[in-house]
Amino acid sequence: MYKRKNCTVRVKQARRIARKEALKNDGQLVGDVQVTVRNFVPMGASATKTDRLPTTPSTNRVKKVDFVYDLIEYVEKRIEECKKGEHKWIKQSAAPTEVALTIDYILPQFEHRRESSVNAVLPTTPSFLAAASNYYQLFPEGTATLKLPKDMSPDPSPIYHPLEGQELMYLDWNLCSPGTKLPCPHCVPGLLKHEPYTNFSKHKGQVCRILKPDASSIYCVLKKYRCNSCERLVDANDAGLLANLPAHVRNIYPVPPRYCNGRTHLHKDLIDIVESLMLTYGNADFIAKHMVSQLGKKYENQVSTYLSKGPTSAYPKEKDWMQKRVPPSGETLRLA
């Protein structure tokens, strides 16, 4: 165990050194290749396959800087600070601690300001274009969902491993569907203009949860809008707003408008199952119990895959892992 811990420390030290060297050589020549290091690296299909460093002539291999490691460091640091009484907003968040902290890490990557307008035309200022570039690397145009990649490091993190494959949504209609005007759901002539905050920033840590058939959840950050006529505040996933959007735009949010009530929504795939069973009292409870069972299997699979990598740290206990992940009860499903 002692040798394994020493190995882990050496791996982390090597990563830090590689990162420092990459930043140090930014814009300079290594052999006959110029090194270019970006300040932001998108979370693409693979955690370690980035283009932050080029192929070097000597090794003919791509040096990689693991940006998932940056996220792990951020989350681990914040969790330690939480234990000291900091970041009290975490307890109020509907998302699991590591999910809420991941969102808190990602949002500043494309934070920007733009004029509030109903014409849905995006600005062309350098600062906005830089932020938009980061946004579209995370959320390609026409989508609003990011799926966190796998950690390919030799020593997995017990904090990040539960995040592998986790889906996060950032719903800003002006960004995911540029040019689409947003009709107010409360008054006919009104059009919506965006507010400079989201549900997550206005009430720190607040998210909307979309429950899927396998008991996993998509955690959503929602842009806020205000009508230019009646001045009412509207969420990006408001049922009335969704109903008035073109179908190809509306479908970016995977919940039918008539099921958009409250802060926990059912994914359209789960709705298909629910409707096909014609929710009687017994069927609702059956679905709820089935999702709890699916969640238990998900935990067992994560533990199995984590331990198979020969980790040096213990995995979270099932009781701790289950917190804020438990599916709604049968009664809640009947009311959805």
Tens of pLDDT along 288-305? 787 888 888 878 888 888
pLDDT for position 243? 92
pLDDT for position 221? 96
pLDDT for position 63? 29
Can you read off the two tokens belonging to residue 258? 């008539």
Q: Do the Cβ atoms of 106 and 169 come closer than 8 Å?
A: no
pLDDT for position 51? 32
Can you read off the two tokens belonging to residue 118? 């109903």
Instruction: State residue 74 phi and psi, 5-degree precision.
Output: -65, -50
CA-based torsion, 42, 46, 47, 51: positive or negative: negative
Distance of alpha carbon 67 from alpha carbon 50, whole angstroms: 8
pLDDT for position 274? 79
String of b and e for 313-324 (b: at least 16 CB within 10 Å)?
eebbeeeebeee
How far is residue 298 from each of residues 32, 75, 173, 221, measured CA to CA in Å?
Answer: 48, 22, 32, 24
DSSP state for residue 259 in the 8-state scheme: G
Distance of alpha carbon 259 from alpha carbon 271, whole angstroms: 9
pLDDT for position 311? 82
Task: Please identify every stretch of the chain with a pLDDT value under 70, giving residue numbers as ranges.
Answer: 1-67, 120, 278-282, 334-336
How far is residue 305 from each of residues 127, 218, 246, measured CA to CA in Å?
Answer: 42, 22, 42
**Letter for the amino acid at 155?**
D
Cβ-count burial of 217 within 10 angstroms (0-12 exposed, 13-18 middle, 19+ buried)? buried
pLDDT for position 33? 37
pLDDT for position 49? 30
Distance between the two ends of the chain, CA-based, in angstroms?
A: 50
Cβ-count burial of 266 within 10 angstroms (0-12 exposed, 13-18 middle, 19+ buried)? buried
How far is residue 330 from each of residues 129, 223, 283, measured CA to CA in Å?
Answer: 46, 30, 8
Q: Which residues contact 181 (CB under 8 A, 6 or more apart)?
A: 118, 119, 120, 191
Cβ atoms < 10 Å from Cβ of 61: 8
- Alpha-carbon dihedral 300, 303, 307, 311, rounded to 10 degrees: 180
Can you read off the two tokens belonging to residue 228? 């230019």
Q: How much is the pTM? A: 0.72
- Give the residue among 225, 263, 270 at the shortest CA–CA distance from 116: 225
pLDDT for position 125? 86
pLDDT for position 168? 96
pLDDT for position 318? 85
Our measurement of the distance from residue 121's CA atom to the centroid of its chain's CA atoms, rounded to an integer in Å, reads 26
Distance of alpha carbon 221 from alpha carbon 130, whole angstroms: 21
